[in-house]
């Protein structure tokens, strides 16, 4: 099997910032209430004329530039998203055309907030087995279009953005050491968008009035406990598989769901928050895009250096959870 590694990263955050103070004007809430419960101070909003593939295009182009790879050299595009431009064709198909990746095959992966790790794991197998050489993995979400803006419990959490990575064969001593993905369909109703699928088709006035086409979170307290447990287990699995400990890890880059969840994971793992990369205060929860955005930031701000061990971890709707351990 070939050794596979990330050779370039990129990200894109829309220009428009929606702060907690802006939300105070439309909701019965406050900056203090939101920050205390979530750690979020602001989030980004895509323009009305931007679709998920537009955000993905910018992030993808930046990752390709970082990798020194031309769009024509990309053979595989895997896009993680729960907010594609259209259900048919896939968001990755739109992205392929916009990038001019004329030699690539493209498809979407739907795994909610764990989507980037799922996409990374899928693409890794194609490179390992020699079927493709260069793959572009992109996670892109416009979560603000899935929200009920009268529900102060949920609409405060989410933002828009995209992150990307280029993977290919690399020399021994670096690269992806392992990926681990899991799901539990029995818990799928805890984070749910009921409308829009075959169950509620066609869309009707009644389904819209019932807000079936917005994101619902059920049993937040129980979800918190499950998220902390699965997050920690995913980290421990990657370490056990590679015979390593947290002392060997330079930085943990988790899905940015909620600051209290990240603190709970750190406590469960008995690790300092200094080792956990956090940017949720600036961007909120961008579902599958949070991990690659944070990874790109960490690579560009010097947090990650060549040779460092980097642990990615996520938990999301489905339920899904997973991890990836990388020698940078």
Per-residue pLDDT tens digits for 210-237: 777 777 776 556 678 888 999 999 999 9
Is the same domain home to 182 and 169?
A: no
pTM across the whole model: 0.95
Tokens of 189: 């109703």
Averaged pLDDT for residues 239-260: 97
Catalytic (active-site) positions:
113, 255, 285
CA atoms within 13 A on the CB side of 195: 17
What does the alpha-carbon distance between residue 258 and residue 284 come to, in Å, rounded to a whole number?
Answer: 8
Are 120 and 114 within 8 A, CB to CB? no
- Residues 170 and 141 reside in one and the same domain: yes
Domain boundary among 149, 176, 203: 176
Instruction: Examine the domain organization and report whether 278 and 218 are in the same domain.
Output: yes
Per the structure, the count of domains in the chain is 2
Q: Are residues 132 and 203 in the same domain?
A: no
302, pLDDT greater than 80:
yes
Domain extent at residue 243: 177-327
Last residue of a domain, one of 143, 176, 209: 176
Which residues have CB under 8 Å from 200's CB, separation 6+? 194, 207, 212
Average pLDDT over every residue of 146-175: 92
pLDDT: which is higher, 213 or 161: 161
- Residues 191, 314, single domain; the answer is yes
Confidence of residue 31 (pLDDT cuts 50, 70, 90): very high
Residue 102, domain CATH: 3.40.47.10
56 and 72 co-located in one domain:
yes
């Amino acid at each position: 099997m070939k050794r596979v590694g990330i050779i370039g990263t990129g990200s894109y955050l829309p220009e428009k910032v929606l702060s907690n103070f802006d939300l105070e004007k439309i909701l019965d809430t406050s900056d203090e209430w939101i920050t205390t419960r979530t750690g979020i101070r602001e989030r980004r909003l895509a323009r009305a004329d931007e679709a998920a593939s537009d955000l993905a295009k910018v992030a993808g182009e930046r990752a390709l530039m970082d990798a020194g790879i031309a769009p024509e050299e990309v053979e595989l595009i895997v896009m993680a998203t729960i907010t594609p431009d259209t259900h048919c064709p896939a968001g990755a198909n739109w992205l392929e055309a916009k990038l001019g990746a004329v030699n690539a095959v493209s498809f979407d992966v739907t795994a909610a907030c764990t989507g980037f790790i799922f996409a990374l794991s899928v693409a890794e197998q194609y490179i390992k087995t020699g079927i493709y050489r260069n793959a572009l993995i992109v996670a892109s979400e416009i979560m603000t279009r899935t929200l009920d803006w009268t529900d102060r419990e949920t609409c405060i959490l989410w933002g828009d953005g995209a992150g990307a990575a280029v993977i290919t064969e690399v020399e021994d001593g670096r690269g992806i050491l392992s990926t681990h993905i899991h799901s539990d369909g029995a818990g799928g109703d805890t984070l749910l968008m009921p409308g829009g699928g075959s169950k509620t088709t066609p869309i009707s006035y009644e389904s819209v009035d019932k807000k079936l086409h917005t994101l619902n979170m059920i049993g937040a307290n129980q979800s918190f406990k499950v998220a902390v447990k699965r997050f920690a287990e995913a980290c421990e699995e990657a370490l056990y598989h590679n015979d390593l400990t947290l002392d060997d890890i330079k930085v943990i880059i988790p899905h940015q769901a909620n600051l209290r969840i990240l603190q709970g994971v750190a406590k469960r793992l008995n690790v300092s928050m200094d080792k956990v990369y956090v940017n949720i205060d600036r961007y909120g929860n961008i579902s599958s895009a949070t991990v690659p955005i944070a990874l790109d930031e960490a690579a560009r701000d010097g947090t990650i250096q060549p040779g460092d061990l980097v642990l990615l971890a996520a938990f999301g709707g489905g339920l899904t959870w997973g991890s990836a351990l990388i020698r940078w």
